[in-house]
Amino acid sequence: KAGVTQTPRYLIKTRGQQVTLSCSPISGHRSVSWYQQTPGQGLQFLFEYFSETQRNKGNFPGRFSGRQFSNSRSEMNVSTLELGDSALYLCASSSTPLGSGGADTQYFGPGTRLTVL
């Protein structure tokens, strides 16, 4: 079974631009979560999508948004990029939503490393 894929793997943008990152979950997984990892703030939850609906959102400004398509692929968008948005963005998929009754093991993609200049 193919793992979680993320594109692109590396991205360089300048302040003020916007960026869209893509995540394809494991086949059959309907939950996709996004995380930001930085040296200063560590790992932080961005949002989770399940069946095309955003279930929960972390403490990030409205510049961070996402969506999920009917095939469970997900995109996240960051508008008006700031230097502090430089980070590794990870997505993870699971068969059930976070906190649902079963063991919601998450499988992570390789990440997209975003550098904002």
- The residue ranges that bind other proteins (CB under 8 A) are 33, 42-45, 48, 55-58, 90, 92, 97-100, 103-111
Inter-residue contact 32 to 74 (CB < 8 Å): yes
Nearer to other proteins, 44 or 86 (CB): 44
Residue whose C-alpha is closest to residue 73's, from 18, 32, 19: 32
What is the nearest approach in angstroms of other proteins to the Cβ of residue 1?
15
Nearer to other proteins, 33 or 72 (CB): 33
Residues contacting residue 74 through CB under 8 Å, at least 6 positions apart = 22, 23, 25, 32, 34, 49, 66, 67, 68, 91
In degrees and rounded to multiples of 5, residue 95 shows phi and psi of -80, -25
Nearer to other proteins, 80 or 111 (CB): 111
Nearer to other proteins, 66 or 111 (CB): 111
What is the nearest approach in angstroms of other proteins to the Cβ of residue 108?
4
What is the nearest approach in angstroms of other proteins to the Cβ of residue 42?
5
Give the number of other CB atoms < 10 A from CB of residue 11. 15
